[in-house]
Structure 1
Amino acid sequence: MSFASSRLLLAFSFIAFVLTLGAVAKTAVAEEMPFEPLAEATITVTGHGTLNAEPDIAVVNAGAVTEARTAREALDANTKIMADTFAALQAMGVEERDMQTSRLTVEPRYTYFDSSNGERRPPRIDGYTVSNQLTVRVRDLTIIGEALDALITAGVNQMGGLSFAVDEPDALFAEARQAAVADAMAQAEMLTEAAGVSLGRVISISQNQARQQPPQPQMARMAMAMESADAIPVATGEQELRTTVSITWAIDNGSN
């Protein structure tokens, strides 16, 4: 046998050895790796819980805007309005802790010149505007109409909004969560029964953010027992407390 033939035979033998060694190693690794079972079948359902309740607190956003030639004059006029407002609310039983200044601004008022003739002149300050915004919590809803009237009488000329809420909703939200869990379980049992399987163990439970919805107009109830016949009529309505709960169960398909 020639030298070239010997080298060729040796190369083929080495390649065969490498392939054989690779196959043996692959078999050994496969034998060592544990068998991965199929992923557990699960079902996830979101339940909803809703509860309606009468609000027991009102939040009023109001303010006064005053204008004058100087900032001092505008601020003094605004200060008088807010002082009268605080006094009127306190006389009605609104506590100091329930009145909070939410925004106070002092801004110049500009006059802009007509530049159509090509003349460029900077704007001129010809006065000042002071805005004072107030947030008031009224805990006695029977006086809410009078409180709004008192704000206007004191000189408030901006009404940013009126909203109602349940002041301590924790117990009500607990009931809504129970209703949400019951709703999720009812849905899950219906779905698994239709599919011919049954619910297994609970894997996870998560709750989405609970929140209060604005009063429903169709359920509005006029605030009564107002002492003043001229008080602003206000409908308190009902507050809707809503929460959702998502639950994941294992599915027992009877195969085990």
Structure 2
Amino acid sequence: MERTITVRGVGNISAKPDFIVIEMDITGQSKKYSEALADASSAVEAVCNAAVSAGHSKDALKTINFGVSSEYDSVRNSKGTYQRVFVGYNCSYNTRLSFDFDRDMLERTLNAIAESKAEPELSIRFTVRDDSAVKSALLEAAAENAREKAQILCRASGVELGRLLTVNYDWSEIDLISPTGYAIERASFKQSAVVPDCIEPEDIKVRDTVAFVWEIV
């Protein structure tokens, strides 16, 4: 019977954020489908022009989701019962603007968007441009950790580590987002968007595990 040892390797990586992602929800509402679409599209165009004026390329603003929904309200009629009443159409664009970490560029971008009068709901995240490099380093760290633990266990047990038989990994998605939040109140965003010089996003710390099975001889 083949003797084996199974070890779970743990990788830990810390990465410095070097990329900014601004996601914006832009909407238009109207009782007419065409007007809701036109309002939302006009706001998207305004945000796109704002991005260009801040120094981004014309195709920098990406649409990641688009949808049109029908809005209804529940209204009580003269008989005391409630019925659904059509309110209008809601057209929404979910857009993304990504660029290398630069406080001045972030400030110019936010101010340009504020001046566009598009009034999008926005969120700002700090991440890394080359996520594949971070994920590769994380798996390498997990593999090194597993082999080190396997060798220690084998030495302590008076056996030798043999061939690697299997590797089990679930390929789950790794979230490479800095825990640093950047929130702007809508009222203050309309006035100005000054980015403090002291803003330094916290490093991204990620952890992953991989299971290895070796034969022991």
Higher-helix-fraction structure: 1
Q: How does 1:62-101 map to 2 (within 5 A)?
A: 62-101=24-63
CA distance in 1, matches of 2:49, 2:145: 50
Partner of 1:52: 14
Contact 2:16 2:128 in 1 (8 A): yes
Contact 1:56 1:166 in 2 (8 A): yes
- Paired residue secondary structure (1:240): strand
CA displacement at 1:242 relative to structure 2: 4.0
Matched, 1:141 2:96: no
Contact 2:22 2:96 in 1 (8 A): yes
- Paired residue secondary structure (1:46): strand
Higher-strand-fraction structure: 2
Residue identity matched to 2:93 = N
Segments of structure 2 that go 5 or more residues without pairing to the other structure are: 182-191
Under a length normalisation based on structure 2, what TM-score does the superposition of the two structures give?
A: 0.74
Q: 1:117 aligns with which of 52, 74, 79?
A: 79
Contact 1:62 1:156 in 2 (8 A): no
Change (3 A) 1:251 1:83: same
Partner of 2:144: 182
CA distance in 1, matches of 2:102, 2:16: 11
Q: Report how many aligned residue pairs link the two structures.
A: 202
Contact 2:50 2:112 in 1 (8 A): yes
Partner of 1:245: 210
Change (3 A) 1:76 1:238: same
Residue identity matched to 2:97 = V
Percent of residue pairs identical:
23
- 1:174-194 deviation per Cα after TM superposition (whole angstroms, max 9, x unaligned): 433332222112211222233
CA displacement at 1:243 relative to structure 2: 4.0
CA displacement at 1:100 relative to structure 2: 1.7
Change (3 A) 1:104 1:179: closer
Contact 1:212 1:239 in 2 (8 A): no
Change (3 A) 1:237 1:94: farther
Partner of 1:214: 177
CA distance in 2, matches of 1:156, 1:126: 22
- Paired residue secondary structure (1:113): strand
- Paired residue secondary structure (2:76): coil
Q: How does 1:226-241 map to 2 (within 5 A)?
A: 230-233=193-196, 235-241=200-206
Which 4+ residue blocks in structure 1 deviate beyond 4 angstroms? 232-235
Contact 1:101 1:132 in 2 (8 A): yes
CA distance in 1, matches of 2:167, 2:135: 17
- RMSD (CA atoms): 3.1
Segments of structure 1 that go 5 or more residues without pairing to the other structure are: 1-38, 221-228
Structure showing greater Rg: 1
Under a length normalisation based on structure 1, what TM-score does the superposition of the two structures give?
A: 0.64
Change (3 A) 1:179 1:132: closer
Higher relative contact order (CA 8 A, sep 6+): 2
